[in-house]
Amino acid sequence: MPNSSPANLSKALDRLRPDVRAMHAYKVQGAVGYLKMDAMENPFSLPPALQLELGQRLGSLEINRYPGERQNDLKAALASYAGAPEGSAVLLGNGSDEIISLLALACAQPHDGARAKLLAPMPGFVMYPMSAQLQGLDFVNVSLTADFELDEPAMLAAIAEHKPAITYIAYPNNPTATLWDQGAVQRIVDAVGEQGGFVVMDEAYQPFASHSFIDRMKAEPERNAHVLLMRTLSKFGLAGVRLGYLIGPEAIVSEIDKVRPPYNVSVLNCEAAIFALEHAEVFAAQALEIRTERAKLIDALKTIPGVEKVWDSEANMVLIRVADAAKTHEGMKARKVLIKNVSTMHPLLANCLRLTVGNAADNAQMLAALQASL
């Protein structure tokens, strides 16, 4: 390789968007040899008998054909699993990350003489601002309160001022694991509806939460006709499969579906997801165990000197505050446990670490590494 890049290479690179070149790539930490407690993955693997059966199912697929009708079976299975409201339709995404970009893409048009806006409370999921940036929407960032509750007056004021095309409510939120007050959420939903816009309820952590906004959608379908429910099978236990879905009124979903790449969900993803839903009770038992372990983990964290604060959780993660997050994160890494240092993501997250809830053995190992690293 020559030392200086060829002129054609650098001229080609100059054609890339400067904002893209200035971005940092989404970093997936190398994890071989580590206990992985950084990405809210389900710690359980499929029982061996189901592994075999899944292998046979996948092996017999027509992988020489583009995905086809089988996707409708998956949509029906997801609608029934979620208990979708009547008259709703389902859109499939290659993970909900893809759905987040499709929504931004479909809404990227000027409104009231300004760029379209996308609003979300922060700290929150990084893909919301990223989708806005990449699709040319302005991101409106409304801070949570210091205790990670929704700042309802600030949300309502921002909605009135900015008239966002899309408002995201992660329910529960990542990385704070909070499930906000349903009354406040409904009032925010109403405010968005009044000025015209979509609310996306991102329920990635629904398997671990005490309730879902879907009940409000079913109770008052007209009031919530502009609400889209986004879920994923990732935290459910299929992070490697990549399958997200959006449930909403057919009139909206059919429009968003037009910008979806037609074969975005492979026959392998599709069949694996159908298979998992056929065995939903296996995953429900795993989620129940994780919720039980979560309670024990939170109790244990509260007894550790040096853990200054432990927040309640409605997800398979727990947010804590320590004296020196960078030091603790490095110490745990040296002890072969990966967690997420979220302390530089937002001022409210100063010295905060996000721990995934694993099984009993994983949690014990994580706690020992944490204690030794404070």
Ligand X SMILES: *Cc1c(COP(=O)(O)O)cnc(C)c1O
Residue 85 near ligand X by CB under 6 A: no
Encoded one letter per residue, x for contact with ligand X by CB under 6 A and - for no contact, window 112-151 reads -------------x--------------------------
Q: Does 96 participate in binding ligand X (rule CB under 6 A)? A: yes
- Is 41 an interacting residue with respect to ligand X (CB under 6 A)? no
Binding of ligand X at residue 95 (CB under 6 A)?
Answer: yes
Q: Which residues of 307-324 are buried (b: 16+ CB within 10 A; e: fewer)?
A: beebbebbbbbbbbbbee
- Integer Cα distance of 351 and 67 in angstroms: 46
Give how far Cα 173 sits from Cα of 148, 170, 260, 314, Å.
Answer: 9, 5, 26, 9
Applying CB under 6 A, among 71, 232, 269, 356 the residue interacting with ligand X is 232
The distance of closest approach from Cβ of residue 353 to ligand X in the complex, given in angstroms and rounded to an integer, is 16
Give the shortest CB-218-to-ligand X separation in angstroms.
Answer: 22
Per DSSP bridges, beta strands 117-122 and 35-36 are: unpaired
With contacts defined by CB under 6 A, name the span among 57-65, 227-235, 274-282, 292-300 that binds ligand X.
Answer: 227-235
Residue nearest to ligand X (CB): 95
Structure-token pair, residue 2: 């020559």
42 is a contact residue toward ligand X (CB under 6 A): no
Token pair belonging to 83: 């208990």
Span near ligand X by CB under 6 A; candidates 145-153, 159-167, 231-239, 348-356? 231-239
Measured distance CA(226)–CA(211) in Å, rounded = 20
- How far apart are the C-alpha atoms of 129 and 122, rounded to whole Å? 10
- Minimum CB–partner distance for residue 207 and ligand X (Å): 12
Q: Least distance to ligand X from the beta carbon of 230, Å?
A: 7
Q: Judge if the upstream peptide bond of residue 172 is cis by omega within 30 degrees of 0.
A: yes
Total of residues contacting ligand X (CB under 6 A): 14
Which range in 184-192, 232-240, 258-266, 345-353 contacts ligand X by CB under 6 A?
Answer: 232-240
CB of 95 to ligand X, least distance (A): 3
List binders of ligand X among 145-204 (CB under 6 A): 170, 174, 202, 204
- Residue 313 touching ligand X (CB under 6 A): no
Alpha helices, DSSP H only, in the chain? Answer: 7-13, 18-22, 48-59, 70-82, 96-107, 127-135, 152-162, 182-195, 214-219, 250-256, 267-278, 280-302, 325-334, 360-373
Q: Closest CB to ligand X among 93 and 197?
A: 93
- Give me the torsion for CA of 94, 110, 23, 154, rounded to 10°: -90
Q: Which residues form the interface with ligand X (CB under 6 A)?
A: 40, 95-97, 125, 170, 174, 202, 204, 232, 234-235, 239, 244
